[in-house]
Structure 1
Amino acid sequence: MKSVRKLSGILAAIMLFAFASGCQKTENTSSVDRTGSTPTINPIQVAALKGPTALGMLNLMNSDKETENYEFTIKSKPDEVVALLTSKSADIAAVPTNLAATLYNKNSSVKLLALNTLGVLYVLEKGDTIQSVKDLKGKTIYSTGQGAVPEYALNYVLEQNGLTVGKDVTVEYKTEHTELAALMAADKASVAVLPQPFVTTVTSANADVRVALDLTKEWENVNHTTLTMGCLVVRTEFLENNQPAVEQFLSAYKESAKKAVSDVEGTAKLAEEFDIIKEAVAKKAIPACNIVYIDGQDMKTKAIGFFNVLHQANPKSIGGKMPDENLYYINK
Structure 2
Amino acid sequence: MTSAFIHLKASRLGRMAAACLAALALAVPAHAEKLPRLVLAGPAAAVSVPLIHMVETGALKEVADSVEFVTWKDPDQLRVLALGGKADFLAMPSNVAANLYNRGQPLKLLNISTWGVLWMVSRDKNLKTLADFRGKEIAMPFRADMPDIVFGLLAERLGMDPKKDFALRYVASPLDAMQLLITRRVDHALLAEPAVSMALRKTKSFPISVVAPDLYRSVDLQQEWGRLFKREARLPQAGITVLGKAMSNDALQAKVMAAYEKSLAWCQKNARQCGEMVAKRIDLLSPEAVADSLAASPLRHVSAAAAREELTFFFQQMLAKNPALVGGKLPDAGFYGNAGRP
Moved more, 179-188 or 51-60: 179-188
Partner of residue 32, structure 1: none
Shift of 1:116: 2.1
Unaligned runs of 5+ in 2: 1-29, 204-211
Which residue is 2:193 aligned to?
196
Aligned to 2:72: 76
2:218 paired residue among 197, 212, 222? 212
Deviation at 1:155, TM superposition (A): 1.2
Among candidates 295, 303, 306, match of residue 314 of structure 2: 306
Q: Distance in 1 between matches of 2:128 and 2:95?
A: 30
CA deviation after TM superposition for structure 1 residue 214, in Å: 1.1
Q: 1:239 to 1:145 in 2, by over 3 A?
A: closer
**8 A contact 2:305–2:337 mirrored in 1:** no
Aligned-pair identity (%): 21
Structure 1 position 134 matched with structure 2 position 131: yes
Q: Which has the larger radius of gyration?
A: 2
Instruction: For residue 115 of structure 1, give the secondary structure of its aligned residue in structure 2.
Output: strand
Shift of residue 46 of structure 1? 3.2
Q: Secondary structure at the match of 2:241?
A: strand
Q: Write the deviation string for residues 243-289 of structure 1: whole angstroms up to 9, x where unpaired.
A: 12211221121111111222101211111233463323322233234
SS for the counterpart of 1:228 is coil
Using a 3 Å threshold, how does the CA distance of structure 1 residues 112 and 192 change in structure 2: closer, same or farther? same
Residue in structure 2 matched with residue 279 of structure 1 by the alignment = 287
Q: Which moved more, 1:219-228 or 1:37-46?
A: 37-46
* TM-score for both structures, normalised by structure 1: 0.78
Indicate if the aligned counterparts of 1:94 and 1:233 stay in contact, CA closer than 8 A: yes
The answer on 1:318 being equivalent to 2:332 is no
Aligned partner of 1:62 among 22, 37, 56: 56
Preserved contact between residue 311 and residue 320 of structure 1 (Cα < 8 Å) = yes
Q: Which stretch of the first structure deviates more once superposed, 91-100 or 75-84?
A: 75-84
| Farther-moved stretch of structure 1 (150-159 vs 300-309) | 300-309
Secondary structure in 2 aligned to 1:98? helix
How big is the shift at 1:65? 6.8
Match of 1:250 among 248, 257, 270: 257
| Cα offset, 1:191, TM superposition | 2.4
| Partner in structure 2 of residue 154 of structure 1 | 151
Give the 3 Å change call, closer, same or farther, for CA 250–286 of structure 1 in structure 2: same
Unpaired stretches in structure 1, ≥5 consecutive residues: 1-36
- Please show how residues 95-110 of structure 1 align to structure 2 within 5 Å: 95-110=92-107
How far apart, in 1, do the equivalents of 2:80 and 2:296 lie? 30
Number of aligned residue pairs: give it.
295
Bigger mean CA deviation after superposition, 318-327 or 68-77 = 68-77
- Stretch deviating more after TM superposition (316-325 or 165-174): 165-174
Q: Distance in 1 between matches of 2:111 and 2:174?
A: 27
Q: 2:39 aligns with which of 41, 46, 56?
A: 46
Moved more, 63-72 or 102-111: 63-72
- Aligned residue number for residue 239 of structure 1: 247
Distance 1:269 1:156 in 2: 35
The amino acid of 2:117's aligned partner reads V
Q: What is the TM-score of this pair, normalised by structure 2?
A: 0.76
The structure 2 residue matched to 1:164, chosen from 161, 164, 167, is: 161
* 1:179–1:57 distance in 2 versus 1, CA, 3 Å: closer
| Pair 164,86 (structure 1): closer, same or farther in 2 beyond 3 Å | closer
Query: Equivalents in 2 of 1:217, 1:183: separation in Å?
Result: 25
* Aligned-pair Cα RMSD in Å: 2.8
> Higher mean Cα deviation, 147-156 or 306-315?
306-315
Q: Is the 8 A contact 1:45 1:89 kept in 2?
A: no
SS class of match (1:245):
helix
CA shift for structure 1 position 138: 4.0
Q: Distance in 1 between matches of 2:106 and 2:44?
A: 24
Return closer, same or farther for 1:234/1:151 CA change in 2, 3 Å cut-off.
same
